[in-house]
Structure formats: structure tokens, C-alpha cells
Chains A and B, each alone.
Chain A
Amino acid sequence: MSAATLRWTVLDAWTMTVRELERRVRRPGALIAALAFPIMVVLMMGYLFGGQMDAPGGNYREFIMPGMFALTMAFGLEGTFTAIAADASRGITDRFRALPLSASAPVAGRCAADLVDAALGLAVMALCGLAIGWNWHDGAVRALAAFGLLLLLRASLVWAGVWLGLVARGPESVMVIQVLVWPVGFLSSAMVDPSTMPGWLGAIAEWNPLSATVTACRDLFGQPGWEAHSWPGRHALALALAWPLVITAVSLPMAVRRYRRLS
């Protein structure tokens, strides 16, 4: 790739990012609704269900927050998917493709905008968590590292969302994505102890990329977690780094190729 091409790729990605951010600013209602959702879930989980559940360490709200963070990252996939599928079905993607711009630029712009979304969402949830008694206990640096892991997971899911959005027939099929994402989200150590699940289900949950991130975050925040019996439970931090890299290595080339591919 020549210097000029690289420069244009970066500029194109920037133009795409600006477009996405401008859309947010122009529709503050949608943005507020998107941020209100995690707040609602935190409050619901904390107050409604909190009393019913036993948590390691005894404090359910403390315990639940890392799981909520990670689940929010996973559900972010739906947002990526919907935006990409909407552009594709309205012919905007075709217009991009007929322009002499690099195929990776729209994908990169999408990722940047989605990460801004995710960071905002995490910030709002964290504030909300602080208000109901959650906190980090091992210092700001380790806490920031935990948020970094969460964003890393989100970034890797952007590529998967782009690929799915380009393959799908239109934004309506987001239902299918939900049917896929929700079980994957909950079949993890985010909310439930995998050792209480039937053996094979527990093994799947232990190996779930989401579980690695959740377990590593609990550790970095200095919060109680499930007792780790298994190999993936004991190597959560390494897996929380490795999984997103594997997901990216697989889905990023797929997304870019699909974007460039002529039908």
C-alpha cells in the first residue's frame, strides 16, 4: 500500500466516523434511548433480581456489574448489524462501492463510531453502578485495563456484525441476530455460575469468549467471581486478549472481502 493510498484510507475512515457521529448528534432522542437501556438494565438487575440471588462475596450488585458490561458489549453487535444492513438495503453501500474509495475505510469508520458508542455506554453504566454501590478496588489503572478488555471484545464483534449485516437481506433480520446473540450472551459466566450448569453446557459457558472477558474484568476490578475450577477460568486474562484477536483475525478479512465482493 503506497503512502497516498494509506493516507486516503485513513481520511475515508475518518469521513465515515464523522458521518456516524453526526447522525448521533442529530438524533439526540435515539442516543438518549440507547444510553437509557443499560441504565434500566443495571437498575432492574440490581434492585429487582438482586434480592433473590446468591452472589459470591455476598454483594450481588458488586458482582453483577462486570457481567452487565460484557453483555452490553455483546449486544452491541445488533447495533452494528442494523446500521450496516440498513445502508446496504438502501443502496448507500452501493454508492460507496461505486466510488473510488478503499474497501476497508467504511468498515474502519464503522468500528470507530461503534467504539465511541460502546465507550459512552460503559461510562454511563459505570456511573450508574457507582450510584448503586459498585466500585473498583484495585486502583484506576487496573480498572481502565478492564474497560480496555471490554472495548477490545466490542471491536472484535464489530467485524462480525459488519459481515453479518452485509450478508443479511435487510435490517429486519436483526431478530435472527438476537436469537443468536442472547443465548451466547447468557450461556456464559456473566450471570450464572457455569459449574451449576449441566456438564457440557458448563464447558461451553467456560470457553465462551464473553466468560473470559467477564472473569478477567472481575479480577481487574478486584471483585468476587465464581470459583474457577477449569483451565479457561484460570487463564481468563490471556483468553480475554486471545479471543478478540482470534475473532478479528477471522471476521475482519471476511467483512472486508464481503464489502469488496461483487455480487
Chain B
Amino acid sequence: MNVVAEALRKSYGDTAALDGLYLAVRAGTVHGLLGPNGAGKSTTVRILATLARPDGGRAEVGGHDVVRDAARVRARIGLVGQHTAVDEVLTGRRNLVMFGRLAHLTRRAARRRADELLETFGLADAADRPAGTYSGGMRRRLDLAAGILLAPTVLFLDEPTTGLDPRARAEVWRAVRELADGGTTVLLTTQYLEEADRLADDISVIDHGRVIASGTPEGLKAELGGDRLDVVIADPGDLAAASAAVERVTGFRPEVDEDALRLSAPVADRVGALSGTLRALDDVHVTVADIAVRRPTLDEVFLRLTDRAQKTTPKEAVR
């Protein structure tokens, strides 16, 4: 394990930002920390990156305690925070050289590393322009480059694509993928399920400062989401009858998309639900255009998880 957190607690006034958070990141993997705004993602990253001190619990990065051995941890990590942290007046190259010097590379090594990274991140052509003239995606890539100047063993990325357009997001994804393929352990926070699904080997879903589910993207979907039944009917007039029939069979009131004439409900027994629903719809003379059982999207998993967490832990934040 390259990153371990045990029972981390952190409060800001009355707000429990972290409320007993556990985390284990395997070396060489991308771990996604998925959660809505205010879930405690940045607080987790800041504690692991030695920028904040936990009120309780402990954490290790690369085998070193983040509080007692902060200097050793700092020598092994890279941090790309929630806000792009580059000097917008300086050029891309000067930014990297400056951060390289501050990371105690020799002048020559800092220059060489800057050139190398500008090349890797596709910024060589823009290297001598002020970072303020870069597009959002370019600035974020420069930020990433600054984060891995020292070839860290563990890289923390706090919402690296929030606020980027789809093209820039794809650029950043590619860069992260390449880093991970090169052997860097990455802890990535995100509000986007698609991002976690795409990049992460393991996912921890967090809400209200604690992990509410974890596993591989596939595992999470299979284990916690259950399957879903989608039915598309032919005639808009049949929506009410079809909804009642699906509810009778699955036990859940289906979500109805009136424009697509699609009904969708969670199911436990794949085959039984399929044949049972077909029969029930036939009984009430509803014509079926399409029917299928599928894995849930992570969005559906996530909504269900946060919903469940809210129901089972009613407001115990203040302690």
C-alpha cells in the first residue's frame, strides 16, 4: 500500500470535514476519490500532502507518517491542487524552472527537466509564452507538469478537470493515464463518475467525510448498483399502464422518460424480471419496442449510495 489513511478526522468549527475516513491505495494504481461538493475530498488530499493536520486518526504516504515525517513525505509526492497553481505572468518554461529550483534541482537539471516535461505535455510550442495566455487545458497540463517535476512516487490530483471543456478534459485524462502507465501512484479526486470510471483502478466513494463504498468500478456497479431493466414502449398512451405493470413485477416504481417512452427500474433477478415484465405487459396489451437488462451507470450507483448514506446516518455530524 502506498497511501494509507485510518480513521482520519478533521473539523472546521462545527463542520466535520472528515469523519473517520479510511483509505488504502495500492502502489502503481490510480485511485479515484469520488464525491459531491463538500464531501471532504480536498481536505483528504491536503492532509495526505502535509498541508493540513488531522484532528484524529493517522495517515502514511510511502511508509512515512504525514504528520511526524512530513519532510520525507514532501520529497516523495507531487500535488496538483484544486486551483491551477502556476504564475500566469511567467512563461510556461520559467514556471517549471522556478518550481524545479525550489524543489532543489540544480540549475542545469531544472532546465533539462522543464524541457522534458514541456515536450511530454505537448507544451513545447507554447513554452515561451506567458502561462496567462494558455487555454484552460494547457494551463492544467502545465500545472500537472509542475506537480511531477520530482518524478514523485505518489501524485495527488484534486479535481484536475473541473471547469474544463470536453477537449481539455480529454487532454488531461491522457496525461494522467500516461503517468499511471509509467508507474506513478495517483490519488485523484473527482465529482465526475465518468472520470473515475475511465481513469481509476479502484474507487472510494465519499460523502460527509467518510467512505460510503469502495471497490473497482466494475465491482461497485455489480455489487452495489444491481442490474436495471429498461423497457421502451411503442405508444405514449400506454405509459401509465406500463409503469404499473413494471412496478408490479420489480417492486419499484420505474423512472419514466416520457420523451423516449422509456421506463427503467432496478431488478434483482435478471431473467425472471425480463420474462415476468414481458408477460405482464402483454397481459395489459402494451406493445414493447425494446427491452433489456443492463448494468447501472455510475451515476445511478452514486445517487443510490448517497441516498442510502443519508437515510442510514441521519445528521450525526456534530459531535
Q: Write the residues of chain A forming the contact surface with B, with a CB cutoff of 8 angstroms.
A: 8, 11-12, 15-16, 18-19, 22-23, 26-27, 89-92, 94-101, 105, 262-263
Contacts and interface: CB of A to CB of B under 8 A. Distances in A.
Contact of B79 (A11, A16, A98): A98
Interface string B81-100: 11111110110001000110
B146 interface: yes
B77 A95 contact: no
B50 interface: yes
Given A8-B104, A262-B50, A262-B52, A98 B77 contact: yes
B71 interface: yes
7 contacts: A15-B98, A18-B98, A26-B90, A91-B81, A91-B85, A97-B50, A99-B102
B292 interface: no
Contacts of A12: 101-102
B94 A95 contact: no
Interface residues of B, number: 29
A15 B101 contact: yes
B317 interface: no
Interface in B108-136: 130
B307 to A, nearest CB: 32
Contact of A100 (B83, B89, B104, B130): B104
B64 interface: no
A15 B102 contact: yes
Nearest to A16: B102
Q: Is the interface of B mostly helix, strand, loop or mixed?
A: loop
Contacts of A98: 49-51, 74, 77, 79
Given A8-B104, A11-B101, A91 B84 contact: yes
A23 B86 CA distance: 13
A90 B101 CA distance: 20
Given A91-B81, A98-B74, A263-B46, A23 B103 contact: no
B295 interface: no
B53 interface: yes
Contacts of B85: 90-92, 94-95
Of A11, A27, A97, A262, chain B has the most CB atoms within 10 Å of the CB of: A262
Nearest to A105: B102
Given A26-B130, A91-B83, A94-B51, A99 B99 contact: yes
Given A8-B104, A96-B102, A100-B75, A91 B82 contact: yes
A93 to B, nearest CB: 8
A95 B90 contact: no
Given A23-B87, A26-B130, A262 B53 contact: yes
